[in-house]
Amino acid sequence: MSKDIRIKKGLDIKLVGVAEKSTTAVSQSSIYAVKPEDFHGITPKLVAKEGAEVKAGDTLFYSKSDARILFPSPVSGIVKEVIRGARRKVLAVKIAADATQSYKDFGTKNADEMLAEEVKDHLLASGCWPFVKQRPYDVVANPNQAPKAIFISAHASAPLAADLAYTLAGKEAELQAAITAVSKLTEGLVHVSVGANSSSPLANLKGIAVHKVSGPHPSGNVGTQIAHIDPINKGEVVWVLAPQDLLVIGELLLTGKLNLTRTVALTGSQFSAPQYVTAVSGAAIADVTANNLKDDNTRIISGNVLSGKEVKMAEFLGYYDNQITAIPEGDDYEFFGWNKPIFNKISTSRALTFSWLSPNKKYDLNTNTNGEHRAFVVTGSYEEVFPLDIYPMQLLKAFMYKDLDEMEALGGYEVAPEDFALTEFVCVSKQPHQKIIREGLDLMREELG
Amino acid sequence: MSLKDNLHNLKEKYKGTKMAPAFNAIHTFLYLPNEVTHGGTHIKAADDLKRTMNIVIMALIPCLIFGMFNAGYQHYAAIDGSLRADVLANFFTFDNLWIGIIKVLPLVIVSYGVGLLVEFIFAVIKGHEVEEGYLVTGMLVPLIVPVDTPLWMLSVAVVFGVVIGKEVFGGTGMNILNPALTIRAFLFFAYPTWMSGDKVWVYDAVNMSEADAISGETMLGYYAKASQDLTIKGANGAADIVTTYGDRANELYSTFDKFMGFIPGSVGETSTFLILIGAAILIFTKIASWRIILSAFVGAAVMGLIFNQVVAADIITESSKFYGLMSTVWWEHLTIGGLAFGAVFMATDPVTGSQTNKGKWIYGFLIGFISIMIRVFNPAYPEGVFLAILLMNVFAPTIDHYVVQGNVKKRLNRTKVKTA
């Protein structure tokens, strides 16, 4: 039951700084951190006390709503500090890493012989459950629900995204073990989407429905693929996993160790050598980017330029991220910037903007908003970059005025913030689309379950 | 210290004060702000609202310049009809432009001056930034009023239009009615004796004597009375000319004149040719919806064709007061009056128009369709396009509602199929 997906509406944002296909290992950081806010909607209950010794895989905190969902330490060492914000909210748990890493042993498993309950328990116990995310609401999956299908997008279309065919090459054994295991979690199919012209190591695995995807971004967004393969209806749940996380699960099954080492793409024009590095999740940004940044006035993003998160030098790589982007800050004025012809920025209109003349040119965009926040005025521009069968502006407005009936009727169950990243990029009124969607989804989750 | 640094320091100084929006409006006019992204996407596309509005203004400039020449040309041609013999030679003259400068430019200045003043006051009172909506409205207004509109009347109308048409709803992006058309409608309904009839379309027509060759009747005015007799007093003792309004119009204005815009009318709406160039600019730059523009013209043509058929079937005869405009050939309807200007520059306002692509087809079609209907059945003031657009502004949310409901139903059906 495989289905080709061809996306027409969308936009490939071509930027300078594609990661070169060579991988170096980053020297081990002295400090690592796990941030509860990387797991949206989770309220952490701390297990690890300051000063406690942990192995890689030991629990740092668990979810208040379901004590079975554990969040593990990526490295072995000593819990150095728990950073708290307003109302004692846990912002980060910092771990001072040992020089030689020791791993908690979860025992090797043969995925073929495991039952659904065993898989679930093993993922929960080993701290791998946070890798399973659910739609609707785009949060860590609720283990009590039964998903109608599982979706895995192995096609990365976001700007400068890590090439999964490169980062996962040669890992078929781990991926197969993980797929065999997670496929037991659903009665339905495991849908894997690969790029139409890529040699993805996931394409030839057993027990999956493969879909070939082509077209501009957001063709690689799992939300786009779900909408085209098996859209979510009210009351249904699908689970979503990322290929780089399957690798961790696979390694856990085969070796019994939780190894959160990832191949991370360093991308963007501010890296003097954009390339791939191996780094452990939660590594210090300063260590990962050491001796590679061009200048100080740089925005460092854990993730991609559309949906990633701004991080400072003293902060840490996001738990799920396999990409760091560095682009110039745009905190300068531009004389008559609103009416002169523009050649060095991307635009979907042709309003004295000329990016339509050179569709293959790579741009060096900065973080300037290129205008001020305004009410919604222009219509029809979102639809050009939005491939879902949803009215984007109407949904955004419903999310803003918080009419739950309309939010539900207009397709609120089918969207995630990242689906609105391109509409936010092209928005003439500079509205914060992803924030609107995130807050609306949180409200729906609270009110509708 | 450079201008950039000076302005930056001033901005910091004014931050949080009442006058900040007023200062920022001027500052952001000179410099694209130094604001950077926070939270969502880290990069943004090049377009902002100022750029979008600026393109519309640029598309309107040819109409404005042509309107300035036409103001003079219609004035002198009313005095000396022989000028019409060679339009091209007598149109782009400095004398004509001068009339434009003294009559049209003040309309532009008053429109922008009064309108922006109101915008600034509201921005300062309500503490929001000055939004760009009025940049286009301010240019549209002088182009859709008759050249002899008194400036005080225009000022009153602009204040009414901006306050009642826009600010009470919350400003740019929140209004239901097109502000420029609200201003036009206010002028028409508040000062009907001045704003209709045949004296306001040509500069100084009020003071021209009966003996002058022609008064300042618009094309629609002529066609509305096409079969009525018209007696023109012969100048300098010559014999009176007896004709009908329809024949007189055809004698004065060729199809070429009507298409190119060498006819009396509101300042900037006469030249269908330049309006189409404006439409090409707006469509190419993706600023205006081609769906609305195309469907408005189609709607007008369909209504025109229907009326033509009604006349051809002898249902309406020459004695009817509707005969004149009903018998006007359908394609001629597209070149006379404000239809083209309305379809291209007013109907396409994204805030007051339909917001869904399907809705835009329906919305545009009905604007064209109803424009011609009003034109024919409202002999007191034959131009119907502004009323048609205002009417459809009110219905646009309803159209969108049904289009969106289609999407909602599709989603519900999907669930039903599943559960069945």
Please give the full DSSP string across B155-209, using - where no structure is assigned: HHHHHHHHHHHTGGGTSTTT-SS-HHHHHHHHHHHHSHHHHSSSSSSSTTGGGS-
Q: Please report which confidence band the pLDDT of residue B213 belongs to, taking 50, 70 and 90 as the band edges.
A: very low
Q: Are strands A261-267 and A275-280 parallel, antiparallel or unpaired?
A: antiparallel
| Mean pLDDT, chain B, whole residue set | 88
Decide if A79 contacts A52 (C-beta within 8 A). yes
Closest CA to B349 of B46, B53, B45, B29: B53
Q: Regarding predicted confidence, which is higher, B162 or B5?
A: B162
CA distance A275 to A295: 18
Tell me if B172 sits within 8 A of B132, measured CB to CB.
yes
Q: Does residue B255 contact residue B281 with C-beta atoms inside 8 Å?
A: no
pLDDT class for B275, splitting at 50, 70, 90? very high
The pLDDT of residue A397 is 95
Q: How confident is the model at residue B248 (pLDDT cuts 50, 70, 90)?
A: confident
pLDDT exceeds cutoff 60 at B210 = no
CB contact (8 A) between residue A368 and residue B44 = yes
- For residue A362, pLDDT over 60 is answered with yes
Q: How many angstroms separate the CA atoms of A419 and A410, rounded?
A: 15
For B20-136, strand residue ranges (E) read 31-32
> How far is the first Cα of chain B from the last one, in angstroms, to the nearest whole number?
74
Q: In chain A, which residues have their Cβ closer than 8 Å to the Cβ of B171?
A: 375
Judged by a CB distance cut-off of 8 A, whether residue A144 touches chain B is no
Please, is A99 exposed, middle or buried when counting C-beta atoms within 10 Å of its C-beta (0-12, 13-18, 19+)?
A: exposed
Find residue A266's DSSP bridge partners: A324
A281 neighbors A260 (Cβ within 8 angstroms): yes
User: At A222, which amino acid appears?
Assistant: V
* HEC letters along A7-67: CCCCCCCCECCCCEEEEEECCCCCEEEECHHHCCCCCEEECCCCCCEECECCEEEEECCCC
In chain B, whose CA is at the least distance from the CA of A437?
Answer: B40
d(Cα B89, Cα A115) in Å, to the nearest integer? 92
Cβ-based contacts of A380 with chain B (< 8 Å): 289, 350, 355, 357, 360
Q: Average the pLDDT over each of A34-43, A425-434, B165-174, B338-347 and give the range with the smallest value.
A: B165-174
pLDDT tens sequence across A45-88: 999 899 999 999 999 999 999 999 999 999 999 999 999 999 99
Q: Specify the pLDDT at position B240.
A: 76
pLDDT of residue A245: 95
Which residues on B lie below 8 Å from A345 (Cβ)?
45-46
In angstroms, the separation between the Cα of residue A408 and the nearest Cα of chain B is: 9
Query: Averaged over A404-418, what is the pLDDT?
Result: 94
Residue B21 in tokens = 């929006």
Angle in degrees, CA A126, A130, A136, rounded to 5: 150
Instruction: Provide the shortest C-alpha distance from residue B161 to chain A (in Å).
Output: 19
* pLDDT at site B173: 86
Over the stretch B370-417, which tens digit does the pLDDT of each residue have? 999 998 887 667 678 999 999 999 999 999 999 999 999 999 998 877
Interhelix angle A116-125/A243-255, nearest 10 degrees = 100
The tokens of A157 are what? 């279309």
DSSP string, A176-219: HHHHHHHGGG-SS-EEEEEETT---TTTT-SS-EEEEEESSTTT
pLDDT of B227 higher than 90 = no
pTM value is: 0.92
Is pLDDT at B83 greater than 80 in this prediction? yes
Q: Is the pLDDT of residue A89 over 70?
A: yes
- B32 and A337: CB-CB below 8 Å? yes
- Cβ A366–B43 below 8 Å, yes or no? yes
**A251-309 tens-digit pLDDT:** 999 999 999 999 999 999 999 999 999 999 999 999 999 889 988 899 999 999 999 99
A403 touches chain B (CB under 8 A): no
Strands A309-311 and A238-241: unpaired
Best mutation site among B47, B119, B286 for testing chain A: the one with the most A CBs within 10 Å?
A: B47
Pick from A339-343, A422-426, B343-347: least confident: A339-343
Q: DSSP label at B147? A: T
Do A184 and A39 contact (CB within 8 A), yes or no?
no
Best residue of A370, A373, A384, A425 to probe chain B, by most B CBs closer than 10 Å: A370
> Sheet holding A44-46: strands in order across?
A44-46, A59-63, A70-72
The residue with tokens 């002999």 is B379
Q: What is the pLDDT of residues B297-311, one digit of tens each?
A: 999 999 999 999 999
Check B51 against A369: CB less than 8 A apart. Answer: no
The verdict on a CB contact (< 8 Å) between B404 and A410 is yes
- Give the tens place of pLDDT for each residue, B348-359: 999 999 999 999
> Per-residue pLDDT tens for A179-223?
999 999 999 999 999 998 888 888 888 999 999 999 999 999 999
Give yes or no for residue A444 having a pLDDT over 50. Answer: yes
Six token digits for residue B57 = 């203004």
**A387 with A9: CB under 8 angstroms?**
yes
